[in-house]
Structure 1
Amino acid sequence: MQAGLAGFALGLSLIMAIGAQNAFVLRQGLRRAHVLAVVLVCAISDAILVTAGVTGFGVLAEAVPGLERIMRFGGAAFLLAYGARSFLAAWRGAAALEAGEGAGSLRRAVLTCLALTWLNPHVYLDTVVLLGSISTQYENRFAFGLGAVCASFVFFFSLGYGARLLAPLFRRPASWRVLDAGVGCVMWAIAFGLLRG
């Protein structure tokens, strides 16, 4: 249970960082266009990547002594930098999100979503490397990975279908500042936890 909750919390905090993929899902949700297809592409892609990280990295970590420690410190450094980026975005402020005009075709929405997911180098760092390396600290890696996969499904479905409720809120740049600051706090908390071992 503890490993599953840890995987869920870390998976959720990593995926919450506003980037091109999440902004696209949010826009599709605001437009109410092809939401189911878009959230399924994102969540299933994450499930594949998390599974590869948890299963593959665990085997690799057992084969290479000391790799887990190197990856733990590397993951902490990455999270500190990612958190700093979120704090910087909160300090500078972000433009309000506009729903835009036109929904586009289903094919275009799915292809855009696939590109934003699989061509983003950060997705591999977050899922395969970072989640994979942290999973080695738990006896039940399966539960940790399942927690992270559940976080992806919960987040993307909530973001895609909850966007209509958030539309008035995210038209204000101050909302993005609060979100970015919260993401930065979570990232730094996890990084300090990794450094403590």
Structure 2
Amino acid sequence: MSSAFLPGFFLGFSLILAIGAQNAFVLRQGLRRQHVFWTCLTCALSDAVLIAVGVAGFGHLAMLAPWLDLAMRLGGAAFLICYGGLALRNAWRGGAALHAGGGDGSTLLATLLSVLTFTWLNPHVYLDTVVLIGSISAQYSDRLAFGLGAVCASFTFFFGLGYGARLLAPFFGRPRAWQVLDGLIGLTMWAIAAKLLVM
């Protein structure tokens, strides 16, 4: 194993460890046991693509289109505000619709569209993967191993979060716990949206 693999793994893991819109969605899908595999796979593959772009040396492309950053931030903030509002509405309503493992009737297509939106409309994803991981990988002679380490971290994290969430299922068997989770998710979405708007 190349000495660059572990630094890439730990950097990649640390960047996605913090709670965010994408992680909150994966956690929710895991708790509901709904489209968990495809949700985790979509997140991990998206990260893999972005990491590959960064490690390949294309991080500087973001500077060639300065308007893209503003468009992504506004689009991402609008989506997060709407999704956060829905989560807070669910928290307010509570009730039978929030049963652990019960799912909410969302189709696989709707779920994947949500995952892709959380991922590709989030400017921080590009900063973390394309720019940060891409620039740090340049410090290593084996950039491929560094990138593979970061990609493996994404797969490990997302599948661990998605399938590990079911261990919390007994706790989330109570509607009140779902209300608290929805409230936290909604507030997190709005906090991230606010941060995007004031950047």
SS at 1:2's partner residue? Answer: coil
CA distance in 1, matches of 2:24, 2:105: 15
Amino acid across the alignment from 1:114: L
RMSD over aligned Cα, in angstroms? 2.4
Cα-to-partner distance string for 1:82-118 (whole Å, 9 max, x where unaligned)? xxxxxxxxxxxxx9xx759614111110000000000
Where does residue 15 of structure 1 map in the other structure? 16
Query: 1:150 aligned to 2:176?
Result: no
Q: Amino acid of the residue matched to residue 165 of structure 2?
A: A
> How far is the alpha carbon of 1:167 from its aligned partner?
4.1
- Partner of residue 114 from structure 1, selected from 113, 116, 129: 116
Task: State how many pairs are aligned.
Answer: 137
% identical aligned pairs: 66
Alignment partner, residue 168 of structure 2: 166
Report what 2:196 is aligned to: none
Instruction: Provide structure 2 residue ranges, at least 5 long, that are not aligned to the other structure.
Output: 61-90, 92-97, 185-199
- Alpha-carbon distance change, 127 to 169 in structure 1, aligned in 2, over 3 angstroms: farther
In 1: Cα distance, 2:146 partner to 2:113 partner: 30
Is 1:31–2:48 an aligned residue pair?
no
| Partners of 2:34 and 2:103 within 8 A in 1 | no
Classify 1:133/1:169 alpha carbon distance in 2 versus 1 (closer, same or farther; 3 Å). Answer: farther
Extract unaligned runs of 5+ from structure 1. Answer: 61-94, 177-197
In structure 1, what is the equivalent of residue 46 of structure 2?
Answer: 45
Report the TM-score when normalising by structure 2: 0.63
Deviation of 1:4 (Å): 0.3
Which residue matches 2:135?
A: 133
Task: Label 1:169 to 1:129 Cα distance change in 2 as closer, same or farther (>3 A).
Answer: farther
Aligned 8 A contact 2:16 2:154 in 1: yes
Q: 2-side partners of 1:166 and 1:11: how far apart?
A: 25
SS of 2:4's partner is: helix
